[in-house]
Structure 1
Amino acid sequence: MFKNLLPSRPGTEPLAEALIACRTHFIWAAVFSALVNLLYLTPTLYMLQVYDRVVPTGGLMTLVFVTGVVIFALATLAGLDWLRARLLLRAGLRLDRMLAGKVLARVVDLQTKAPNTQALREFDNVRGALSGQGMLAVLDAPWTPIYLAACFLLHPALGLLTLVGGLLLFALAWLNERDSRPRLARAIQSSNTAYAAQENIAGQTEVVRALGMRQASINRQIEQRRLATAGQADAQFAGGRYSGAIKFLRLTLQSLSLGLAAFLAVRGQISAGAIIAASVLLSRAVAPVELLVGAWPGLIQARTSWKALNDLFAGTASRDLPRTTLPPPAGALSVEGITVQFPGSDAPQLRAASFKLSPGQTLGVVGASGSGKTTLARVIAGALKPASGTVRLDGAEYDARDGDDLARYIGYLPQVPSLFAGSIKDNISRFAIAAGAPVESVDRGAVAAAMAAGAHEMIQRLPHGYDTVLGPFGQGLSTGQAQRIALARALYGDPVLLVLDEPNSNLDQDGESALMSAILAAAARGAAVVIIAHRAGVLARVDRLLLMRDGVVQTEGPREAVLETMRAAVRPAEAVKQ
């Protein structure tokens, strides 16, 4: 049965392995749950002994002996209950150790325009359900028949009352599940949307204030939050109705069992001790159902989250494919029929784009806004996976190398510098120390990259030089400074392929001169360089040009030949205007 719960889609193997690693925890928790539920019969047996043996005979020694046994049994029950809760907690911690890093890695590897930023929250939902009260309720539920059998042993009428009451409770629980499932799914979706919107606004507060969007942003977030809380309230109201009905039914059944037991005792069919015992047994028999109803929203949310995690891992299945270690590439780039179309868009952003670039060559990519230049840069940098087509480095597809291994040979400067919270050295070195790289090696590499980018002197003028700590999104630097730091990051480790998207958009004349020197130096050591640019200055020294229009490569070739083609296309248009 445990195997039936394991995910089986390609790419979800880490999820299955993590669950299997926790199998021992869950098995022992189930064993302890069996013992706990058996020991829950202790108060019932104690009452029967007191009322049927001690009270009629006045056997005080019997009372002492029975009481000692009961205390020992209840202490054992408490210990086992503590142990099973601890086992489930340990299982949750093991799941966190085994999967938290992999979940984050899969989020990074999910190459879409809008990655899943809720994945860790989904994982926490699953982990909380497996290590909390929801799992305890699931483990207790199968032992309800024990108490039902005990009720039948007291008297068939008491057993029948418990059976009918249990069936009614199960029916209410089923109705609750059927009614709550779509409501909870909508509530979870609304909550995820609201959280994502809040994170988006929080990351762009300066733009929001500068554009006078403060109140509009607040109103939009309030509306999204209202929809989320309304969905949650709707699910809770529906569940509350069933919870109230279940509690009413349980209390009524307890009272009815007392009344029925008293009637049977008066008729001489059961002993006086069975009156209280019947109520206790019935209460214990239906308690797991009530616990399940209370834990049901969390279990449903965990199931939805588990499906989301399965989809995430299945969507990034290529990450765990076995790969042969390849030699370091020289920098020969080949783009073969690349097509990219973002979800929800009417037309592809790239259509069958193809070209080649040799080591040491520089390529300038030009075209109007929206022509697909940035999308092409993202694909070449390995930041975006195309819908079809292949990008190769020295003949090997990008997927032939692990993502981090491939990135060591590629330097990428996006349009937005995208610096992170941490020191300037950490940003330049791509946080190599956190990945286990030697500190001295990282220091040398970061300084060398900054010098290659012409940013060394600028960094030294900062309050703490390379150890200057930046805030989220690189707060603490001007836009031009951030762009030069991002260029140094792209040059870190002497990559064999450089992809620079609008690298001079925020640079002054000195910065642009340093950029040109860095590009020429990289090409001189054999790196292939791809430059996306609007300003012609940075393209004056490139070897080749590529012209894009509407996601299609119009022409590509030697710089002068492409420029002549572009001028020839402009002349007829000017003649028509005249």
Structure 2
Amino acid sequence: MLSPGESNGADFGSRQLTKVVQQALHSCKSAFTSILLFSLVINLLMLTGSLFMLQIYDRVLPSKSVPTLIALTILIIVLYSFMGGLEFIRSRLLVRIGLRLDDKLSRISFKEWLSQSIKIGHSQKKLPLNDLKFLRQFLSGPGPVSLFDMPWVPIYLFIIFMFHFYLGLLATAGAIIVFSLALINEFSTKTKISDANIMDNEASAFANLAHRNAQSITAMGMQNNIESYWYEKHKKTLSLQTMASDKSGALTSVSKMFRMFLQSAVLAVGAWLAIEQEITPGTMIAASIIMGRALTPIDQAIGQWKGFVTARNSYKQLKLLFAQTPMQMQKLELPVPVAKLEVSELYVRLQPQNIALLENINFSLNPGQALGIIGASASGKSTLAKAIVGIVELSNGSIRIDGSTLNQWDMDELGKYLGYLPQNIELLNGTVKQNIARFDPSATDEEIVAAAKNAYVHDVIKSMPNGYETEIGEAGAFISGGQKQRVALARALFRDPKIIVLDEPNANLDSEGDIALTKAIKGIRERGNIAIVLTHRPSAIASVDMLLMIKDGRQSAFGPKDKVLKQVTQPKNKKIAGVK
């Protein structure tokens, strides 16, 4: 979380984080260097076939020497075997580069994607893990091979010039035409491929959202409408991809056809020069083979162009993702908090619209206190809850725990001392045990059971089909709304955090659940921790001692519960008395 005064540091952090992708690629520098050297040797060995043909026509056939033929054959077997081994190693190196890049970027991409998704007003349509997958697949495939072979095109052309000037001129003109086709391919498909990827991400994101809300969609007869809306996006994606593929395919076909014609043209010109006795028949055949080899990298590049453009766009998107998120600098490990919370002159605005969500919120809580936050819907209660747990950026003011602002804490470390029950509960696909333990593999059974008992949900979990090992399904689909809320409460109480924020904790609870919630809040206070409860229902604030009322994003009352309730209800009583 950043205060306004920290913008320069955030900009520096963003620049530092942007370099992560470049540094990841730089870490593969030695592997790329090895591939370049292997490509050098492989391309030298690619001349084996043409030189073998040259020797056959110019030496073996005129001399009719079988021993020479045998010696040359053995030599090319050795050279081709060596070349095959080098190509195998090169392909393995490319795969390892893709894996290394994934290892360097996958975790941080996932983390930064989550960071982006919690920003107020932020709509994350990009899927960085998909971008990383496209980049990895391109680097692990045949695409980079054509790029490494490309520098050899002028060398091959130079060799053809050494055979004869006319042959070199024809080959160079042909290479320029093929390369021009590649450039046309780039500029004619670049925009459509980029737009298709954006539309595909939007369609996928919408499909995932619809899948999560399948029950509501089915119950209200929205399936056809949702399907039609998704299909329109899907059709646009296919249309853009088809147009790009059609153009790319047409240019690839033209390039292939021209390349075949060019090789025949080289043979024709070579035959004419051989008739004129300016070159030998072997030179004619060798020039044709080398011509084909010179054009192969260009032809391959055209075939791989769509993958190259996708990988390039993915690289840009990853850099953009990191540029939007400040890098988390190494922070001093602060001592375990006693749990004193201070909120001072807190302002939160929705960006980029600059709409005020919270204005001038001030209160403080000591260990053992519980605060109830009340107010009408859309008054800003949930925004305040998110600000307290550090998932909403402040426009001004501060939130301090034991005197330290939230941005002085490492968020992973601070998370150990915070419990949060969001208004919209989404448990993760796994067991009850895993969800309560926050998917921490080091969690002990004792800690998990203790959290469940503190939430008074231990007996409820035992009544489930497999107890703590019960699978809850995606977003908790296999358990009821009340069970989901109570398991989420146990997750919030895992390892007895110092500050627990509960947003509408009794929205799905029955009377038994309400009683358990009241006991849980009392337990939080008895253990010397702070509870903050946001609610519309009076039963949820039965165990709190402090009350904060928010109206239209502003603090209208704060203090002991009885005093605030009297202050809030007094105007109504006066109004009623006036009517009488």
User: Into which bin does the TM-score normalised by the smaller protein fall?
Assistant: over 0.9
Partner of 1:54: 60
**Does 2:165 align with 1:156?**
yes
Deviation, 1:573, is 6.5
Structure-2 residue corresponding to 1:399: 407
What does residue 427 of structure 1 align with? Answer: 435
- 1:194 and 2:203 equivalent? yes
The answer as to whether partners of 1:318 and 1:399 remain within 8 angstroms in 2 is no
CA 1:142–1:430: 2 relative to 1, 3 Å: same
Q: Whole-Å Cα distance in 2 between the matches of residues 409 and 551 of structure 1?
A: 27
Give the partner amino acid of 1:534. H
Match of 2:269, SS state, is helix
Correspondence for 1:284: 293
1:191 positional shift: 0.6
Residue in 2 aligned with 1:225? 234
Counterpart check, 1:335 vs 2:338? no
Distance apart, 1:102 and its partner CA: 2.1
* Mean Cα deviation higher: 45-54 or 245-254: 245-254
What displacement does 1:99 show?
Answer: 2.2
Residues 1:42 and 1:333: Cα distance change in structure 2 (over 3 Å): same
State the percentage of identical aligned residues. Answer: 37
CA distance in 2, matches of 1:505, 1:147: 74
2:303 is equivalent to residue 297 of structure 1: no
Q: Select which of 453, 456, 459 maps to 1:457.
A: 459
* 1:567-578 alignment runs, 5 A limit: 567-570=569-572
Structure 1 runs not aligned, ≥5 long: 1-6
Q: Shift in Å at residue 473 of structure 1? A: 0.9
From 502, 505, 530, the equivalent of 2:504 is 502
Matched residue SS, 1:422 = coil
How far the C-alpha of 1:341 sits from its partner, in A, is 4.0
- Given that residues 125 and 202 in structure 2 are in contact (C-alpha distance below 8 angstroms), is that contact kept between their aligned partners in structure 1? no
Opposite residue 249 of structure 2, the aligned amino acid is: G
CA distance in 1, matches of 2:107, 2:91: 25
- After TM superposition, list the pairs within 5 Å mapping 1:2-21 onto structure 2: 9-21=15-27
Contact 2:125 2:201 in 1 (8 A): no
Residue number among 487, 491, 499 corresponding to 2:493 in the alignment: 491
Deviates more, 1:292-301 or 1:344-353: 344-353
**d(CA) in 2 for partners of 1:368 and 1:136?**
63
Which amino acid in 1 is paired with 2:276? Answer: R
Rounded to whole Å, the distance in 2 between the matches of 1:250 and 1:109 is 50
The residue that corresponds to 1:4 in the other structure is none
| Aligned twin of 2:103 | 97
Whether 1:181 aligns to 2:181 is no
The aligned counterpart of 2:77 is: 71
1:384 alignment partner, SS class:
coil
Q: Distance in 1 between matches of 2:65 and 2:345?
A: 93
- Are the counterparts in 2 of residues 412 and 498 from structure 1 also a CA contact under 8 Å? yes
Q: Does the 8 Å contact 1:107/1:116 carry over to 2?
A: no
User: Within the alignment, does 1:379 sit opposite 2:387 as a pair?
Assistant: yes
AA of the residue aligned to 1:190: M
Q: TM-score, normalised by structure 1?
A: 0.93
Greater alpha carbon shift after TM alignment, 86-95 vs 561-570? 561-570
- State the partner residue of 1:524: 526
Q: What residue in structure 2 maps to residue 3 of structure 1?
A: none
Whether the aligned pair in 2 keeps the contact of 1:499 and 1:529 (CA below 8 Å) is yes
Give the match's secondary structure for 1:529. Answer: strand
Between 382-391 and 298-307, report the one with greater CA deviation. Answer: 382-391
| Kept in 2: contact 1:365–1:533 (CA 8 A) | yes
Contact 2:16 2:327 in 1 (8 A): no
Structure 2 CA distance for aligned equivalents of residues 8 and 249 of structure 1: 48
Give the letter aligned to residue 244 of structure 1.
S
Instruction: Give 1:464 shift.
Output: 1.6
Deviation of 1:345 after TM superposition, in Å, equals: 5.2
Q: Summarize the Cα distance change of 1:417–1:258 in structure 2 as closer, same or farther, 3 Å threshold.
A: same
Go from structure 1 to structure 2 and tell me whether the alpha carbon gap of 1:159 and 1:336 turns closer, same or farther (over 3 Å shift). farther
Determine if the alignment matches structure 1 residue 209 to structure 2 residue 215: no
- Out of 144, 148, 152, the position equivalent to 1:139 is 148
Q: RCO higher in 1 or 2 (8 Å CA, sep ≥ 6)?
A: 2
For residues 394 and 318 of structure 1, the distance between their equivalents in structure 2, rounded to whole angstroms, comes to: 25
Match for 2:330: what amino acid?
Answer: P
1:429-468 Cα shifts (integer Å, max 9, x gaps): 11111xxx15xxx211111111111111111111221121
What is residue 178 of structure 2 aligned with on the other side? 169
Flag the 1:28–1:8 CA change in 2: closer, same or farther, 3 A: farther
Distance 1:577 1:45, change over 3 A: farther
Aligned-partner Cα distance in 2 for 1:387–1:283 = 64
Which of 39, 47, 51 does residue 45 from structure 1 map onto? 51
Instruction: Assess if the C-alpha contact under 8 Å between 2:14 and 2:327 holds in 1.
Output: no
CA distance in 2, matches of 1:500, 1:72: 73
Match of 2:9 in 1: none
**What is the CA–CA distance in structure 1 between the aligned matches of 2:522 and 2:571, rounded to whole Å?**
30
User: Which of 127, 134, 158 matches 1:125?
Assistant: 134
Per-residue CA shift, 1:227-277, capped at 9, x if unaligned?
111111111122122212212221221121111111111111110112221
Report the alpha carbon displacement of residue 17 of structure 1 after superposing the two structures with TM. 3.5
Distance 1:389 1:456 in 2: 40
Other structure's SS at 1:349 match: strand
Query: What is the TM-score normalised by the length of structure 2?
Result: 0.93
- Equivalent residue for 2:418? 410
Hey, what's the Cα distance between the residues in 2 that align with 1:338 and 1:290? 61
User: Aligned pair count?
Assistant: 565
The 1:55/1:498 distance shift into structure 2, 3 A limit, reads same
* CA distance in structure 2 between the aligned counterparts of 1:220 and 1:117, rounded to whole angstroms: 19
Is the contact made by 1:12 and 1:317 (CA closer than 8 Å) also made in structure 2? no
112-121 or 393-402, which moves further after superposition? 112-121
Between stretches 387-396 and 326-335, larger displacement belongs to: 387-396
- Give deviations 1:210-233, integer Å, cap 9, x for gaps: 121111111111111111111111
Contact 2:14 2:325 in 1 (8 A): no
Q: What value does the CA root-mean-square deviation take over the aligned residues?
A: 2.1
Bigger shift: 567-576 or 96-105? Answer: 567-576
Partner of 1:364: 372
CA distance in 1, matches of 2:168, 2:14: 42
